[in-house]
Amino acid sequence: MRVCSCLGRAGGGRMKATPEGAVAGTFGQRMMRLVPYFGRPRWLWLAVVLTTIVGSASEAAVPRLLNFLVTKFGQPAFPLWIVPCLVIGLFAFRGLAGFMAQMALTRIANNGIFRLRSEMFQKLQSARMQLFSLQSASTLANTVVYEVQTGSNQLVYALLSLTKDGLTVVFLLAMLFYRNWQLTLIVLFLFPAVSVVMKTLSKRLYRITQASQTATDELAYVVEENILAHRTIRLHGAQASQSERFRGFSDRLRRLAMKSSTASSAMTPLTQMLGAAALSAVVTIALWQSQSVGSKVGDFIEFVTGMLMLLAPIKHLADLANPITRGLAAVERGLKLIDETQSEPSGGTVLQRAQGRLQFDAVSLHYAADAALALDHVSLNIEPGEIVAFVGPSGAGKTSLMNLLPRFILPSEGKIIVDNIPTENWDIQSLRSQFAMVSQDVVMLNDSVAANVALGQTLDRERVEHCLEAANLSQHVASLPQGMDTLVGHNAVQFSGGQRQRLAIARALYKDAPILILDEATSALDNESERLVQEALQRLMTGRTTLIVAHRISTIEHADRIIVMSSGRIVEQGPHAELVRQQGLYSRLHRLGFGEHSAAPVTQEAV
């Protein structure tokens, strides 16, 4: 069955970027939003904090070590072998602490990504159907798979660097303040200037990142369209226009990337210039003090070394604005999907197996407030086991009526009732378990034949074999390299159209639902394929309430009842012979030749 795509292609099928200012809260509040995913286990975070503190403290110990070595060098009692031992020991200690922090944070990041991605996928599994019309498959896949992965990694490792380099700055400043507090005050004036630079450029980076996300979605959507429609594009010679379209979106993404790189790259030279100004002032004053006061060489070396070592973490801190901004924007996009995606409404009624009685009570449907009615006060009763066919011109509302039954779309007015229970009162999973569908557009997963037949249910190989035989497909499956364990490929591309239809019939047989929907199931098949499919359908329809949507009238002329629809309304209904005698719409459709050729029409005797 074709799920109506009218709901969202007007919007181009692309996720819109979060508008500026849409993400509420301060940086700290936004980071706290990630705690449920990345805040566990706490003992790993404790390990990260402790090893980071140790590593940062050992960084600040380097100037002190140099002071010690310079002061002791040349003294008779000073053993030279202690120099490599102290230096190697200090750097080995730093390296071990850094390795432990990195491994702990890697585990935190991957566990957090797993939790976040799992929740996003679960949200997609229960989302209202409108989501898949409003956003393209490429956008949703990009958000779930790539945005979360890259964003989380960027953010987590940037936070590690922020913590490590921030603590290194604190320890170095403490050492400098202890050694010479007057000179250290000059260094402190550097930080307000750096924070202003980072805040200004970070805001610009965030805006550019959001625009880049939208541009990436647009580019991915163009690629998706061209892959899916590659035959149509080549048939109409549209490669040049599509290439130009691709270049337009790609060029926009390129320009945004350049803007992002400009804003990010500007931070480093600006902060280095500020650092150089502070360093030059400190060194000048320190040299003046050593000449006038007579400072020790070791103390001077310790202070200048500490000052020089400050430049590297300050530069790193300045460079963090880009990954933090981009990472947070990417992860927030995933969080937005979780927060704003509404789950399908569900009632509480659960039935093991329905009888198959269906009622449409004054059902109306429109896809947009200003759109014409797709269904206009349709009322219809269908008894258990009845075979009812729906015919009419394209756009008459036949498929929309079918989509209402399993609540793929919701009515604007009226009620749909299954076994005297309104569908909104049914548990959504229990309701859908009552329906099996075979449509013109067969969808198969890239899994084994058996897994596709038993989709959503426990796999019973003997039962699968029986269903394949009933669907006239057992011989073909037996000829495959691994039989029913053979992977079918992307949407079963190694199967012909008729074979895919019969595979869908085997799936419906395996489900054994009391209500069967056939939506133009034989409209695109050749004679032999249609004959095999019709034979399988006759077996499938036995003992089930069956709803048939078809353009070939001869395939449904022996149904118990034929419903003729036009412009969203039921205009005629009754058996085939009676409708032909009425000389109405059905009779005109019949005379137009819709049923001149058909193989093995479905008959009441067959069921």
184-189 average pLDDT score: 71
Mean pLDDT, rounded, of the chain: 80
> What are the tens digits of pLDDT across the range 213-254?
788 878 887 887 777 677 677 766 778 888 888 888 888 888
* Helix-, strand-, coil-residue percentages of the chain, each rounded to 5: 60, 10, 30
Partners of 426 in beta bridges: 349
The winner for highest mean pLDDT among 17-26, 117-126, 264-273, 351-360 is: 351-360
Q: Which of 517, 129, 131 is nearest to 345 (CA)?
A: 129
The class that CATH gives domain 435-512 is alpha beta
Is the per-residue pLDDT at 405 higher than 80? yes
* Whole-number Å distance between alpha carbons of 576 and 560: 9
User: What crossing angle do the helices spanning 297-319 and 42-72 adopt, rounded to 10°?
Assistant: 150
Could you tell me the pTM of the whole model?
0.71
Query: Band of the pLDDT at 22, cuts 50, 70, 90?
Result: very low
- The pairing of strands 387-391 and 545-549 is parallel
Q: What is the amino acid identity at position 341?
A: T
Percent of the chain at pLDDT > 90 equals 17
Structure confidence by residue, pLDDT tens digits, 424-448: 999 999 999 999 988 878 888 888 9
Contact 449, 503 (CB under 8 A): yes
Comparing 19 with 368, the larger pLDDT belongs to: 368
Reply yes or no on whether the pLDDT at 497 is more than 50. yes
Q: What is the dihedral of CA 99, 104, 107, 113, to 10 degrees?
A: -110
312-366: per-residue pLDDT in tens? 787 777 777 778 888 888 888 888 888 888 888 888 899 999 999 999 999 999 8
Q: How big is the chain by its Cα radius of gyration, in Å?
A: 35
> CA–CA distance from 496 to each of 4, 74, 357, 598 (Å)?
25, 88, 35, 19
At residue 47's C-alpha, the angle toward residues 42 and 49, to 5°, is 95
Task: Give the residue among 301, 308, 32 at the shortest CA–CA distance from 168.
Answer: 308
Task: For 371, list phi and psi in degrees, rounded to 5.
Answer: -95, 155
Residue range 27-340, CATH number: 1.20.1560.10
Unique residue bearing structure tokens 């895919």:
500
Whole-angstrom Cα distance, residue 168 to residue 101? 15
Pairing of strands 387-391, 375-382: unpaired
Instruction: Name the β-bridge partners of 381.
Output: 359
**78 falls in which pLDDT band (50, 70, 90)?**
low
CA distance 554 to 557: 5
Express each pLDDT in 278-327 by its tens digit: 777 777 776 776 666 656 667 777 777 877 787 778 777 777 777 888 88
Cβ distance 12 to 225 under 8 Å? Answer: no
Q: Could you tell me if residue 82 is left (phi over 0), alpha (psi between -120 and 50 degrees) or otherwise beta?
A: alpha
- Domain borders along the chain are 27-340, 435-512
The vertex-518 CA angle with 517 and 520, nearest 5°, equals: 145
pLDDT at 435: 93
What is the end-to-end Cα distance of the chain in Å, rounded?
Answer: 22
Confidence tier at 15 by pLDDT (50, 70, 90): very low
| Rounded Cα distance, 368 and 62, in Å | 69
Least Cα distance to 134 among 8, 12, 4, 6 occurs for 8
β-strand partners of 548: 389, 518
| 340 neighbors 163 (Cβ within 8 angstroms) | no
At 201 the pLDDT is: 74
pLDDT for 12: 38
